[in-house]
Structure 1
Amino acid sequence: MARAGPDPRPRLVEVSSDKPPVAKKVQAERTHHGDTVIDEYAWLADKEDPDTVTYLEAENTFTQAHTRHLADLQETVFQEIKGRTQETDLSVPTRKGGWWYYSRTEEGKQYGIQCRVAATGDTPPELTPGVPLAGEQVLLDGNELAGDSPFLAVGTSSVSPDGRRLAYSTDFSGDERFTLRFRDLESDELLADEISGVFYGGAWSADGSAFFYMTIDEAWRPYRVHRHLIGTPADEDVLVYEETDERFWVGVGLTRSERYLVLSAGSKVTSEVRVLDAEFPTGEFQVVRPRRTGIEYSVDHAGDRFLVLHNEDARNFALATAPVDDPGTWTPLIEHREDTRLLDVDAFSDHVVVHFRRDGLTGIRVLADDGEPHEISFPEPIHTAGPAGNPEFHTGRLRLAYTSMVTPPSVYDYDLAARELILLKQRTVLGGYDPGDYQQFREWAVAEDGTRVPISIVMRKGARRPAPTVLYGYGSYETSIDPSFSVPRLSLLDRGFVFAIAHVRGGGEMGRHWYEDGKLTSKKNTFTDFVAAARHMKAAGWSGEVVARGGSAGGLLMGAAVNLAPEEFAGVVAEVPFVDALNTILDPSLPLTVIEWDEWGDPLHNPDVYAYMKSYTPYENIDDRAYPPILAITSLNDTRVLYHEPAKWIARLRAVAKGGPFLLKTEMGAGHGGRSGRYDAWREEAFTLSWILDRAAGEAATQGGKV
């Protein structure tokens, strides 16, 4: 990639709070496959250039000035979110070994507190929010860890199988590079062991003497697995595995039985798994099956067999068993079905639980050793359900999580013998919330090629239609945006808004084919599906003005959709948006690029992919039509979607397009997920919601009462 420019130190012009910042255009050329393109804002990618920081700060100043009239509304919405939240609260205790584990929050504190208490029986202890339990041991207090730091992320929090040690890792900048530490839970002492530059996750050996962790390369790819022996210097850690194929990343964990360590290597389309008896951490990992392009599989363990979830001749995946002494020999247990996508499998001592997706909704199937397989029934036709918090291998109950667009997150135990759901806790929503005051619906838009695209909708009963609408979308990586509850969303619904999720292709809502029809050279289906959903919401009488919202790869969706049909949207919120996709995927030195070639294609080496991506990537396709107002939100330390993508996008929108205004808000001390403390996150959400209310509801936005 060739870059050249006459001015190596660009300067800014028109920097003030009253006028939008204008980035000086600097000649920078790139040539690929005979195509020469000028990227006049490429200089914004230099994070170390003082002019870049000056520009981002100027953008923040302008955005703050331009939204100053929303300050009262923002504070109102923040107080609504805060007022509906049980600030002092706790989770349902989960049994593991001789302990009950739970987390709690305290009013006025930004972060949660992880705790445990010794188990004296099979019945979980009665916990009262705000009242410490006798014998409580605090494992991690995020508030103490954060100290004066404005940002904290915990990448690992893992208690050894014997319950004696805790491994945890912290990041104070948002760049997702963690420092790993260990605590002796019996003496409550912090051990001298400390390892910097580690990735998320990790796994203990059976006796807690060794901990396996990952490190990343310069492209932010987890590619090495190391073994650390407790009490030894980090520079003596053993490199257990290194993945040399840049398309693959690695992970390490334990089977639910905690009998085997599992080392996985995977690309977007291929996987390879190795296993090792957790009682012998210095042994050699054994390959389950060598990698074959296009074959994905995962492994869990039960008794004398492994359970293998795979897609060999099974696009929506099938489940097989394999002897532990011959893991490459697979015997079918659940055959492939065209209408059911198998998502995950959890093995227990005498039953197997399969998490699946059918007709755009999630479900759970139980295969008990002493009974017929059956699926768990749930009370609402639109819902999201899945296994959650099941660390005990020997149990007659299944812990699961449940929610819908009107039902707050709920925790159930499913009694396997009685086939009965037992509600343990439903998140408290203060302020008189009644699920009966709201309605959820399922609609279907028709895409350009005739494909029916599902839309999940929620609104307050009695709200007038057509209504101002927020239409949310993602549509990449087979990630499904399932129907779920949101406390902040109530501030929209109670002001007469409709909230809708467009389940566009590229996600996984309708099975593996849904993903495949929205990636590579079918990627444009994602964008046209979203536009079709917006038009359907209007044509069917649901929506008046539509504000589109999406983040990360969903931010790419926002940029592409508004290029296709700017007239359909009253505003666009693009959070950490992947809007400069072509330039990023052309540069293999950037984080995650080579890994992503299986998702987007390889424009560096394939001219057809280059031409296809260039035809849709948002930054390359801005024209001089009237665009709606756009709010782009990013973080300076984001390692997944670099801050310069939205910065360049907004700069070019200002230079080329009509309409707007086009606003950029950069969090100068956070990463991909934005600010980390819950109160800070609520304020950021209140800012975004107040902007949405202003765009789609105008004066009605100030109405705080029920519609």
Structure 2
Amino acid sequence: MRKKWNYMIIIGAMATACSDNATKHLVSWPDASAPVAEKKAHIRTIHGDTVQDDYYWMNDFFKKGPDSARVVAYLEAENTYTATMMKDTESLQALLFQEMKARVKEKDESVPYLKNGYYYYSRTDEGKQYYKFCRKKGNLDAPEEVLLDVDAMAEGYPYFAVGGFSVSPDNKLLAYGVDTVSRREYTIQVKDLETGKILTDKIDRTEGEATWANDSKTFFYTSKNPVTLLSEKIKKHTLGSNSAGDAVVYAEKDNTNYIGVGKSKNGKFIQIYSGSTLSSEVFILDANTPNASFKSFQPRIKDVLYSVTALEDRFLVLTNDGAKNFKVVECPLDKTTKEHWKDFIPHRADVLVSDIDEFKDFLVISERKNGLTQMAIRSLKDGTQHYLDFGEAAYTVYPSTNVEYNTSVVRYGYTSLVTPSSTFDYNMQTKEKELKKQQEVVGGYRAEDYVTERLFAKAKDGTSIPISLVYKKGMKKNGQAPLLLYAYGSYGASMDPSFSSARLSLLDRGFIYAIAHIRGGEEMGRQWYEDGKMMNKKNTFTDFVDCGEFLVKEQFTSAQHLYAQGGSAGGLLMGAVINLSPSLWNGVIAQVPFVDVVNTMLDETIPLTTNEYDEWGNPNEKQAYEYMKSYSPYENIEAKAYPNLLVTTGLHDSQVQYFEPAKWVAKLRATKKGKEVVLLKTDMDYGHGGASGRFDYLKDVALNYAFLFKLEGLEK
């Protein structure tokens, strides 16, 4: 459902030939009959409340039930219907795909980063969907070693993902994870970089990343439950041994927690992290003694989150203990519990401290103030501190790949709605910065041809909600421009403004693109998140509606030309806002939408459910059940007109199972009034993040754009 949904296909808005009174384009749809899903009564009774769910049977493919084949047939019928309804846009989709693909530099190379004497990078070849992971020893003029040829590895697979690259401390072995199903269950494999052979060590059902001990023959990994996909155990593997006998070094007893394992940048400690939305705990182990036992850094405390950064002479702890927006404390290496914590960076009510990146002589502190990210550089020698200046009204900045501890150079990424993704190296000693690379937009791109703005809409409770916009220069603010409003609004995930070369296909046709920075994210600090979760969740939905109404009132667009898009938990947002205010939108794109909140959160066999009680609530508790039911999109469908709707999902989705959008579409069609269309597209090969190739996902973007263009009467 949902957690930290990264697949954000983003689009914008447009001012084109519309009538002076902003009338809606009359869409010509094929005379085709939509599939009618069979109804099979399923009764849910809890807390004295009885609900009939006619489409519960659709979870049978996931549950391996008797209607499994019927589910697949229904999804395929929906795909056929969507293809029929969108058939007249096929040439436009092909044009859009080629147009967007042509902006991508096919033969390209990432900026190399230095780790333990080697420069690592990936490079892509013309016409290839994937990449090659490479390194050079000592300097960039050295011979290239191709560590993994992912283009070759992916041959024959409709989906292929590889990640978690982890080179052993002696530089001789590479551990990595492979997923060929798209359910985020990775098989860890190990390659001998001296012989080129893949070792016999193979570990299934993992998170995909191995954390090496300093002996270069022992590593730790996160093991997943085969049904719920919960990260339940941290195990230890010794090369050459049978993984079935791998020792469990940590087993999580609280099924609301996520767990993981990693290594401090200075190479001295292995760390296990266990955390939920509200509390966390870290366990540490000397990386030189992998067979010793992990020790709790500080036993978990109710409503206290913390994470640990290891320096040469002490630990730094980022925590919200008595600090809503987090603070940084320090403690000795041998006295780590709370009574030894002393303030290092005190709490500030107007600044959220989000991360620390450590170096031998410097700290890079990521902060958020007034809705924007900023980076503070602090000297560990004399305590002096300065901030980087970026000079734009709305932007995104973040520490990039910084794996080397003994350096005075920090690498960071920078982007905005008009600035292509850029990688900088900043010398923290001399304060000089160097642009290492900026994303090349093939065919030419001029940032000065576009305008970006940052506005504030007033929510009904008086809260100011930031909105970031971008559009082509020359847009007339007369209410006639089509506008696409995007948001997410969950898990404290901030949707910062970033560049998209694909989005140019919208902007160049006159679309305005806007991001609503609604509550439930963390753009304006930790309280912004708290005010959009659990029993405050409805603020997320009303904020989005208020942003849409503001943009109409300010004449950026009109209801006839206003569109909305969101995915995963943002798909829940889409479902909620069309129930709340269906006439505000001409069309809505809901990607992998989490729309059957109550039923999913009641089913502990569904991946991620118990992990997320602190986000949505536990419906086994009556108050949480009633509140959740009052906004869950599936539960609140009514016999009224809804906007045109394009819904996308993946059969193998591990985050939001396919049956949520499928049930939602079936119930909408059976209940709603009006002639607006409801389309469902299920990718039968992929999961939550869509296609794995670097070009294939553009076909999904092209479908989304074509849907919007059809509603606007644009044919090219």
Residue 513 of structure 1 is matched in structure 2 by 527
Residue 274 of structure 2 is matched in structure 1 by 265
1:98 alignment partner AA: G
Aligned-residue RMSD, C-alpha: 1.3
- 1:377 alignment partner, one of 371, 389, 392: 389
2:200 alignment partner AA: A
- 1:68-79 to 2 correspondence within 5 Å? 68-79=87-98
* Counterpart secondary structure, 2:476: coil
* Residue range with higher mean Cα deviation, 594-603 or 370-379: 370-379
**Distance across 2 between alignment mates of 1:379 and 1:184:** 47
* Residue range with higher mean Cα deviation, 288-297 or 326-335: 326-335
* Counterpart secondary structure, 1:615: helix
* Counterpart secondary structure, 1:208: coil
Residue 705 of structure 2 is matched in structure 1 by 689
The alpha carbon displacement at 1:158 in A equals 1.1
The alpha carbon displacement at 1:161 in A equals 2.3
Residue 13 of structure 1 is matched in structure 2 by none
The alpha carbon displacement at 1:528 in A equals 0.2
The alpha carbon displacement at 1:655 in A equals 0.3
1:686 alignment partner AA: A
**Distance across 1 between alignment mates of 2:399 and 2:695:** 29
- Alpha carbons of 1:259 and 1:17: their partners in 2 closer, same or farther (altered >3 Å)? farther
Residue 8 of structure 1 is matched in structure 2 by none
* Counterpart secondary structure, 1:474: coil
CA contact (8 A) 2:188 2:210 kept: no
**Distance across 2 between alignment mates of 1:222 and 1:304:** 32
* Counterpart secondary structure, 1:501: strand
* Counterpart secondary structure, 1:46: helix
CA contact (8 A) 2:485 2:513 kept: yes
- 1:344 alignment partner, one of 344, 355, 376: 355
Q: Does 1:335 align with 2:346?
A: yes
The alpha carbon displacement at 1:200 in A equals 3.4
The alpha carbon displacement at 1:199 in A equals 1.6
Q: Does 1:187 align with 2:195?
A: yes
Residue 626 of structure 1 is matched in structure 2 by 641
CA contact (8 A) 1:17 1:65 kept: no
- Give per-residue Cα distances to partners, 1:326-346, cap 9 Å, x unaligned: 112211110011111111111
Residue 112 of structure 2 is matched in structure 1 by 93
* Counterpart secondary structure, 2:631: coil
1:358 alignment partner AA: K
Residue 368 of structure 1 is matched in structure 2 by 379
CA contact (8 A) 2:214 2:287 kept: yes
The alpha carbon displacement at 1:590 in A equals 1.5
Q: Does 1:661 align with 2:661?
A: no
The alpha carbon displacement at 1:207 in A equals 2.6
- 1:177-576 to 2 correspondence within 5 Å? 177-217=185-225, 218-328=227-337, 329-371=340-382, 372-465=384-477, 466=479, 467-544=481-558, 545-576=561-592
CA contact (8 A) 2:421 2:499 kept: yes
- Give per-residue Cα distances to partners, 1:481-533, cap 9 Å, x unaligned: 00100011100000010000000100111010000000011100000000000
Q: Which runs of 5+ in 1 are unaligned?
A: 1-15, 126-133, 703-707
1:208 alignment partner AA: S
1:156 alignment partner AA: G
Q: Does 1:674 align with 2:716?
A: no
CA contact (8 A) 1:307 1:319 kept: yes
CA contact (8 A) 2:176 2:210 kept: no
The alpha carbon displacement at 1:17 in A equals 9.5
Normalised TM-score (structure 2): 0.93
The alpha carbon displacement at 1:683 in A equals 1.2
**Distance across 1 between alignment mates of 2:267 and 2:543:** 43
2:371 alignment partner AA: G
Residue 32 of structure 1 is matched in structure 2 by 46
1:517 alignment partner AA: D
- Give per-residue Cα distances to partners, 1:295-337, cap 9 Å, x unaligned: 0000111102111100000011001111111112211110011
Residue 130 of structure 1 is matched in structure 2 by none
**Distance across 1 between alignment mates of 2:315 and 2:131:** 36
**Distance across 2 between alignment mates of 1:17 and 1:305:** 70
The alpha carbon displacement at 1:290 in A equals 0.2
2:570 alignment partner AA: G
**Distance across 1 between alignment mates of 2:84 and 2:138:** 55
The alpha carbon displacement at 1:236 in A equals 2.5
CA contact (8 A) 2:362 2:428 kept: no
* Counterpart secondary structure, 1:227: strand
The alpha carbon displacement at 1:201 in A equals 2.6
The alpha carbon displacement at 1:589 in A equals 2.1
**Distance across 1 between alignment mates of 2:429 and 2:319:** 29
**Distance across 2 between alignment mates of 1:693 and 1:142:** 36
**Distance across 2 between alignment mates of 1:240 and 1:113:** 34
Q: Does 1:589 align with 2:598?
A: no
CA contact (8 A) 1:17 1:61 kept: no
**Distance across 2 between alignment mates of 1:473 and 1:348:** 35
* Residue range with higher mean Cα deviation, 637-646 or 320-329: 320-329
1:673 alignment partner AA: G
* Counterpart secondary structure, 1:655: helix
CA contact (8 A) 2:176 2:208 kept: no
* Counterpart secondary structure, 2:655: coil
1:653 alignment partner AA: L
* Residue range with higher mean Cα deviation, 406-415 or 318-327: 318-327
1:681 alignment partner AA: Y
CA contact (8 A) 2:188 2:209 kept: no
* Counterpart secondary structure, 1:658: coil
CA contact (8 A) 1:576 1:632 kept: yes
**Distance across 1 between alignment mates of 2:244 and 2:40:** 45
The alpha carbon displacement at 1:464 in A equals 2.9
CA contact (8 A) 1:464 1:496 kept: no
The alpha carbon displacement at 1:369 in A equals 2.4
- Alignment: residue pair count: 673
**Distance across 2 between alignment mates of 1:96 and 1:202:** 17
**Distance across 2 between alignment mates of 1:188 and 1:327:** 42
2:456 alignment partner AA: W
* Counterpart secondary structure, 1:308: strand
Q: Which runs of 5+ in 2 are unaligned?
A: 1-29
